[in-house]
Structure 1
Amino acid sequence: MTSTDSTTDTPGAAPADGTHERRGFGIDVGGSGIKGGIVDMDTGLLIGERVKLLTPQPATPSAVAKTIAAVVNEFGWTGPLGVTYPGVVTHGVVQTAANVDKSWIGVNARDIISAELDGQDVTVLNDADAAGLAEEHYGAGRNQTGLVILLTFGTGIGSAVIHNGTLIPNTEFGHLEVGGKEAEKQAASSVKEKKGWSYEKWTKHVTEVLVSIENAMWPDLFIAGAGSAARPTSGCRCSKTAPRWWPRPCSTRPGSSARRWPPPRT
């Protein structure tokens, strides 16, 4: 997401209070909640508190766009913003809708959200892709060359692939078949909670998914994101080739990287 001063709307400007933070605004659209807040573009961390509103049901494009606008208006933000969406997005147009209403498919999310915000500049990006960019710029993938794969473990499994700092968008590794079943149906954190597995048992399934992805991609680094990654993962063996399996709770804000995609044309 392009950084901006929340009072002057000048990209990259420092806040009017005299601090030197470059600020941006990120929105995360989830199946149950829509969260937003101001982000320090130098660190990727939230400035102050975030606001969370319940995702409207049904989560139609119009209803979600109005809720996003309500979150943004809580801060009086009038500059550009990045929005992360739980599905495939190409050129601003939604292609899949797993956790929101199916009427999203084929909708230009960028346009409908911008219209609710009186024409504010909006970039919409797959949520896992945004998390991957955030980790590449601020977190575990910073200064990492080669191929980096981020997996987010939640209701399903999201994925992001970055090669030498460039995002390869809209990978859906959660839907890969592993051992005759979709990866996310056997290794998502929601499966662990539903079945009451120990972390040791769950990470065996995670390892099977990692090995399958590794056999196809041979990454230099795996990064795990989302809530379950904050807990111990000692039972999850490092893959054969990737030197590190890096579990982390994604403390950086994916929305802060939404405006980093697509890259500028040369």
Structure 2
Amino acid sequence: MAKSARYAIGIDIGGTGIKGGVVDCKKGKLLGKRCKEATPQGAAIADVRAAVLTLLERIRAQELDTKVSALDTLPIGICMPAVIRHGRSMTAANIAPEWVGFDARSMFAQALSAPVSLVNDADAAGVAEVKFGNADAAKGSVLVLTLGTGIGSALVYRGDLFPNTELGHMELDGHADYERYASAKVREREGIDDATWCARLSPYFRKLEELFSPDVFVISGGISKRATEFIPLIDVNTPIVPAKLKNNAGIIGAALLGASGWE
């Protein structure tokens, strides 16, 4: 495998926002500002493509106080809420159904006039968190769970990613798609308190513990900013730690994979 680039652009496509920036892949930090565009209503392919192109223009327009030059030549990594198999988006979570089976990587590469790495959003966050985040996540088997609009998952063993686990869609306790019952978005929409929410999360964490026996769970996503408030309420034996990179994890992970030429 070719040596990874020092700098890359990471773009994280989410259900409500598309954000990105230039990443120092050696330090795991953003350079300059994090740029953001709203995810177009319905997240149709053409609309998302246009929003990503606008975002990339804003990222490249920055004047960075570093040795980075020629931002238009940096590798690009993109992550999105879908199973990605050989560049195709095989599922569509909180984006338009037309993405299913679509050659998304080729489309982005053509639209951005550059080679593009494409990966599942939770996988990108997991890669970043294990490499640069909470130190406990660097040990053995790690399950990174992103609690947001849905529940994203990334399974990493000794730094190696097993992609596309999508464990938030697991059937459990009569719920065909468990993220529709226990995501952070559901908690917000229903206005339930932490105790009620964690009573929903606990059987989910116990089932993952039973199936994968991870050494540690890492909670990512925007809600991780206050993870210490609700982590003690989740009833599971495996240690749970909050993510360190929070909402930048997807951007950093996408950039890392882009810099390495991930396909």
The TM tier, using the shorter chain, reads 0.7 to 0.9
**1:174 alignment counterpart:** 168
Q: Report if aligned partners of 1:24, 1:38 keep a CA contact under 8 Å in 2.
A: yes
**2:223 alignment counterpart:** 228
**1:199 alignment counterpart:** 194
**1:49 alignment counterpart:** 33
Q: Report if aligned partners of 1:61, 1:104 keep a CA contact under 8 Å in 2.
A: yes
Q: Report if aligned partners of 1:62, 1:112 keep a CA contact under 8 Å in 2.
A: no
Could you tell me how far 1:216 is from its partner in structure 2? 0.9
1:258 aligns with 2:242: no
65 and 198 in structure 1: CA distance in 2 versus 1, 3 angstrom threshold: same
1:73 aligns with 2:70: no
Distance 2:97 2:90 in 1: 10
TM-score, normalising length: structure 1? 0.83
Q: Report if aligned partners of 1:114, 1:122 keep a CA contact under 8 Å in 2.
A: yes
User: What is the DSSP-based 3-state SS (H/G/I as helix, E as strand, rest coil) of the residue aligned with 1:115?
Assistant: helix
Distance 2:168 2:117 in 1: 24
Distance 1:256 1:89 in 2: 18
Q: How many residue pairs get matched?
A: 245
1:121 to 115, 118, 141: 115
2:155 to 156, 161, 174: 161
Could you tell me how far 1:146 is from its partner in structure 2? 2.0
What amino acid does structure 2 have at the position aligned with 1:23? Y
Q: What percentage of aligned pairs have identical amino acids?
A: 34
Distance 1:124 1:56 in 2: 20
1:211 to 206, 213, 216: 206
User: What is the DSSP-based 3-state SS (H/G/I as helix, E as strand, rest coil) of the residue aligned with 1:253?
Assistant: helix
Could you tell me how far 1:255 is from its partner in structure 2? 2.7
Distance 1:157 1:209 in 2: 11
What amino acid does structure 2 have at the position aligned with 1:42? K
What amino acid does structure 2 have at the position aligned with 1:105? V
Greater fraction helix: 2
Distance 1:75 1:260 in 2: 17
Could you tell me how far 1:235 is from its partner in structure 2? 3.7
249 and 187 in structure 1: CA distance in 2 versus 1, 3 angstrom threshold: farther
Deviations 1:53-80 (A, max 9, x none): 1222342223212221111112333121
For structure 2, the residue ranges without an aligned partner over 5 or more in a row are 61-70
User: What is the DSSP-based 3-state SS (H/G/I as helix, E as strand, rest coil) of the residue aligned with 1:116?
Assistant: helix
**2:16 alignment counterpart:** 32
**1:59 alignment counterpart:** 43
For structure 1, the residue ranges without an aligned partner over 5 or more in a row are 4-10, 13-21
Could you tell me how far 1:50 is from its partner in structure 2? 1.6
**1:136 alignment counterpart:** 130
Deviations 1:184-210 (A, max 9, x none): 122211121122221122122212210
